[in-house]
């Protein structure tokens, strides 16, 4: 399964990057292809390409603030959670993403 995501916290420093790392590690551990963009105080990093978004089965938005460019994900299945959930329960979040994709097929 291909997963893309965006991580963004209110301050745009610690939780943004921790959420990115936890999601990427959990996704890879579960055997999925995953890329997570960060939106923080220094701007957007690891920006997702249109190709990555087009090929994605699901989008995970782990954000405590409004993210920039949300319209890029129009028509995609989206799970939106706080960064805290992505940090504390990344494996369960990836499992939920798989469930959502499988329910829709």
Mind listing the domains of the chain with CATH numbers? 2-104 (3.40.50.2300)
Active-site annotation holder among 4, 6, 7, 9: 9
88 has catalytic annotation: no
Classify residue 16 by its DSSP letter: H
pLDDT tens column, 33-89: 999 999 988 899 999 999 999 999 999 999 999 999 999 999 999 999 999 999 999
Query: Strand order in 43-45's β-sheet?
Result: 43-45, 33-40, 2-8, 58-63, 78-81
Say if residues 74 and 53 touch (Cβ distance below 8 Å).
no
> Among the residues of the chain, which ranges form H helices?
14-29, 50-55, 83-88, 90-104
Q: What is the pLDDT of residue 105?
A: 59
Q: How confident is the model at residue 104 (pLDDT cuts 50, 70, 90)?
A: low
Q: Tokens 């610690």 correspond to what residue?
A: 14
């Amino acid at each position: 399964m291909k997963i893309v995501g965006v991580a963004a916290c209110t301050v745009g420093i610690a939780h943004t990057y921790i959420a990115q790392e936890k999601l990427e590690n959990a996704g890879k551990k579960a055997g999925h292809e995953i890329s997570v963009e960060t939106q923080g105080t220094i701007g957007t990093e690891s920006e997702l390409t249109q190709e990555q978004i087009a090929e994605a089965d699901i989008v995970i938005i782990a954000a405590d603030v409004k993210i920039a460019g949300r319209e890029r994900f129009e028509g995609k299945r989206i799970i939106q959670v706080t960064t805290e959930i992505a940090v504390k329960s990344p494996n369960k979040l990836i499992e939920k993403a798989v469930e959502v994709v499988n329910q829709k097929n």
